Amino acid sequence: MSDLVDALLIGVKSGLGFQAIFFALLAIGINVHFGYTGLLNFGQIAFAMLGGFGIAISVSQWGLPFWVGVLVGIAAAVVLALLLGLPTLRLRADYLAIVTIATAEGLRLLFRSVSATPVTNGTRGLSAFNQSFIALAPWDTQTRYRILGTSWSGGELWVALVGWVIVALACLLVWALMRSPWGRVLKAIREDEDAVRALGKNVYNYKMQALVLGAVFGALGGMVYAVGTGSAIPDQYQNANTFLAYAALILGGAARVLGPVVGSIILLFILQFADTFLRALISNGVIPDALLSSTDVAQIRFVLVGIGLMLLLVFRPQGIFGDRREVMLDAR
């Protein structure tokens, strides 16, 4: 029983920690792209990597203030979104999907390459760039705090607090934009862009604006992740993270303001709970090593999440908060 309680508490901390914030911001950006506009962006992690490394390089390598690094990361994500959108947004949706996933992997390989080592420090990445941010915490960052039965350091608590404030502001911005005429045009583009074009709207410009906005949210997610870990390493930003963010969006419900947030919390909780509880069962001999070893747990938890998502898509394809009509997209 104590193992179950411990696993639940660790899962709760993971669902409220900086990793959940990271996936929530990635999923909010994907929600703007995919949920509201119908854009298939499979390279959201590229914007996150630029956000994280924007801060890391600016502070560690260039000696700039932390907040200047934030602007550098956002500006880099905007530039990448423009470069990706210019040649692809006039074409079908699958071209954007191909370009974004290839760009994300290409950037990761570039940042970890020998030629980029003077700037990114190669595979070892950069560290020691978040002290000025942690120092802003209004409490002692070395003290441990007990919240909901979980233990947090002062630094972890500060990153989580600021991160969830950013998530709340992002949700508020998306809510306001999607209730505006601009947001209604995006939804119309998702349903039938030819009809929107026939009404005199510049579909290309609206798609580009949505791509840039979602990229900014992705960059903010990458910044939270980099500050939370205290390091920026290229291999932290794998393409798999983009698809985990899609899983969070599907779980919570596409084209819903709170869908990505709730989906990210549940996803991180399930992953961490399954990992901790299965390891406890193996160590106690409840699950024999011949059936499942501790080295297999990391993969098994994703299998469990995959099975859960398949069942969700069968019985409730719109997600927890979604509307079935919102996921009937006509990708172009």
Query: 329 pLDDT band (50/70/90 cuts)?
Result: very low
The angle at the Cα of 50, spanning 169 to 142, to the nearest 5 degrees, equals 65
Query: Is 325 a residue whose pLDDT tops 80?
Result: no
Task: Residue 332: name the closest of 34, 6, 1 by CA.
Answer: 34
For the residues 155-184, what does the mean pLDDT come to?
97
β-pair partners for 144: 153
Please answer whether residues 265 and 16 qualify as being in contact, where contact means their C-beta atoms are separated by less than 8 angstroms. yes
Look-up: residue for tokens 């390598």? 61
* Whole-angstrom distance, CA of residue 100 vs CA of residue 45: 9
Cα–Cα dist 18/131, whole Å: 16
Domain boundaries along the sequence of the chain: 2-328
Average pLDDT over residues 223-252: 95
Q: Under CATH, which number does the domain 2-328 receive? A: 1.10.3470
pLDDT tens per residue, range 3-62: 888 899 999 999 999 999 999 999 999 999 999 999 999 999 999 999 999 999 999 999
∠ CA 122-268-39, rounded to 5°: 75
What does the alpha-carbon distance between residue 60 and residue 129 come to, in Å, rounded to a whole number? 6
> In the numeric block, which tokens belong to residue 101?
């996933």
Flag whether pLDDT at 77 surpasses 50. yes
89 has pLDDT over 80: yes
Rounded mean pLDDT, 116-124: 95
**Could you tell me if 236 and 225 are in contact, meaning their C-beta atoms sit under 8 angstroms apart?**
yes
CA dist., res. 16 & res. 228, Å (int):
12
Please say if the pLDDT value at position 72 is more than 90. yes
User: What pLDDT was estimated at residue 327?
Assistant: 58
Yes or no: say if 249 and 30 are a contact pair by the CB < 8 Å rule: yes
Q: Which of the 8 DSSP states describes residue 151?
A: E
- Closest by CA position to 32, among listed 166, 151, 169, 175: 175
Name residue 152's beta-bridge partners: 145
Q: Please name the helix (run of DSSP H) or strand (run of DSSP E) that holds residue 147, with its range, or none.
A: strand 144-147
Q: What is the Cα–Cα distance from 214 to 59, expressed in whole angstroms?
A: 25
Which structure tokens are listed for 23? 């996936």
Q: What is the DSSP code (8-state) at residue 296?
A: G
pLDDT given for residue 99 in this prediction: 94
Tokens of 173: 């911005």
Q: Encode burial over 85-108: b for 16+ CB neighbours within 10 A, e otherwise.
A: beebbeeebeebbebbbebbbebb
pTM over 0.85: yes
Confidence class of residue 187 from pLDDT cuts 50, 70 and 90? Answer: very high
